[in-house]
Amino acid sequence: MAKLILLTGLVLLLNAQIGSAYVLSCYFTNWGQYRPGLGRYKPDNIDPCLCTHLIYAFAGMTNNEIATIEWNDVTLYQSFNGLKNQNGELKTLLAIGGWNFGTAKFTAMVATPETRQTFINSVIKFLRQYEFDGLDFDWEYPGSRGSTPQDKALFTVLVKEMLAAFEQEAKQVNRPRLMVTAAVAAGLSNIESGYQISELGQYLDYFHVMTYDFHGSWEGYTGENSPLYKGPADTGSNVYFNIDYAMNYWKNNGAPAEKLIVGFPTYGHTFILSNPSNTAVGAPTSGAGPAGPYTRQAGFWAYYEICTFLNNGATQVWDAPQDVPYAYKGNEWLGYDNIKSFQIKAEWLKQNNFGGAMVWSLDLDDFTGTFCNQGKYPLITTLKNALGLQSASCKAPSKPIGPITAPPSSGGGSGSGSSGSGSSSGGSGFCAGKAGGLYPDPSDKNGFYNCVNGRTFLQHCQAGLVFDTSCSCCNWA
């Protein structure tokens, strides 16, 4: 009987470990601090109980050594890694590279055994000094975007040498080994030219597969940012541009399923429809949708900016073949994710035995809970719950997570933000000769002009809010 009880206990323990074995890696961006008003994001805004791994983006490189980029990175590192005091199970990694970093410095660094060793030594010293638990490579991408064909093999060599150095250092200092992970491509051509998949599978702790940006305004037609499956409009190479194909390609070519982490975007891509009456997936477009008032990048909205667009009368459509939504209003079209699509993708991830979810990024979810009326971090919380991640040792902060708590009279609970919708009044000429950006409407405190490539879009803040020129955002009056 005692043996049976012991065995039952062991089975329960194993099940508990298996049940909570998923990874939830969440990226923090060191430029979120520069967003205006309610969009501003710093390590103090992070809920330490939300994710299993936090990844700080980005570090750079100088003379083949890892280096800070922002003036206050060291201060931010301290706050970021201090979150482990509130969650003893939390792991933090430092990501190096990113899209804007390009490939030239990576190519130069991997070129010789000496330059690789210089880099590896600098990484160990840097990570230990600032109390990170590992390094996340974000080389976009080995073997393309100016990177040489031999970089595909040299990337494997680098990762192999780094793991060996991490193992040796861990023994010397009697501390847990530093982790080595990579953010990797989801597009077929970039995967083929960039990675020796089965070899990397032996050395990387995790592959953070960037299963988003499959479609955007650069293509000239509407498309979903992060579709789970291919859609009826997909022809040619577009049949590969979906999560299901990308993740299975990595797995079938030798990456262990438990090391493959599925990418989830907390943002969407926007388009200007060529013909506002054609709103289908694959409809012709004339360019990027207007920039959001907080993220301020044409063709791109954070989830909290998306909620404002939806709350202001956009038509929402469920794209059943691809298991993601889209929305449109006037000539603006948006491909995005919501709670439902995150839930479906998380269930698919579990059914396919992948290692977990990766989120780009913390600062693009509705982290204040002000805009979407779905609580704080609605998308990432959906993932946390779907993956069964509850940390016993975690102490959530008692202060509000967001920088500003909305007053009770928020007018319907959707909070501050621009409508994200607006009529194009290209003929009015307000934006002619003006730099892209947001300008107040002199005749209406609630309105503002969004200038995109000389074209004029008149937009409005939500009721009760005014356009604030000090932050170029909608604020409480």
pLDDT of residue 336: 98
Active site residue 332: no
pLDDT of residue 451: 72
**What are the chain's domains?**
18-386 (3.20.20.80), 418-476 (2.170.140.10)
- Exposed / middle / buried, residue 332 (Cβ in 10 Å: 0-12, 13-18, 19+): buried
pLDDT of residue 284: 98
Helix 339-351 and helix 378-386, axial crossing angle in degrees, nearest 10: 30
CA distances from 201 to 242, 257, 425 (A): 22, 10, 53
Residues near 400 by Cβ (< 8 Å), separated by ≥ 6?
none
Q: Block means of pLDDT (10 residues each) for the chain, length 477 residues?
A: 39 37 97 98 97 98 98 98 96 98 98 98 98 98 98 98 98 98 98 98 98 98 98 97 98 98 98 98 98 98 98 98 98 98 98 98 98 98 95 59 30 30 48 77 82 72 73 68
How far is Cα 297 from Cα 65, in angstroms, rounded to an integer? 31
Residues near 448 by Cβ (< 8 Å), separated by ≥ 6?
293, 418, 438, 439, 440, 441, 458, 459, 460, 461, 467
Active-site hit among 114, 131, 140, 219: 140
pLDDT of residue 11: 35
| Total number of residues shown for the chain | 477
Nearest to 383 by CA among 7, 72, 51, 144: 51
Give the residue carrying structure tokens 């298996």: 18
How far is Cα 118 from Cα 120, in angstroms, rounded to an integer? 6
How far is Cα 202 from Cα 214, in angstroms, rounded to an integer? 28
pLDDT of residue 397: 59
Contact of 360 with 24, CB cutoff 8 Å: no
| CA 321 and chain centroid, separation | 24
pLDDT of residue 393: 66
How far is Cα 179 from Cα 55, in angstroms, rounded to an integer? 12
Dihedral sign computed on CA atoms, order 54, 146, 268, 439:
positive
How far is Cα 349 from Cα 358, in angstroms, rounded to an integer? 11
- The backbone torsions φ and ψ at residue 448, rounded to the nearest 5 degrees and listed phi first, read -155, 155
Model pTM above 0.75: yes
How many CB atoms are located within 10 Å of the residue 191 CB?
20
How many CB atoms are located within 10 Å of the residue 406 CB?
18
**Averaged pLDDT score across all residues of the chain:** 88
pLDDT of residue 438: 81
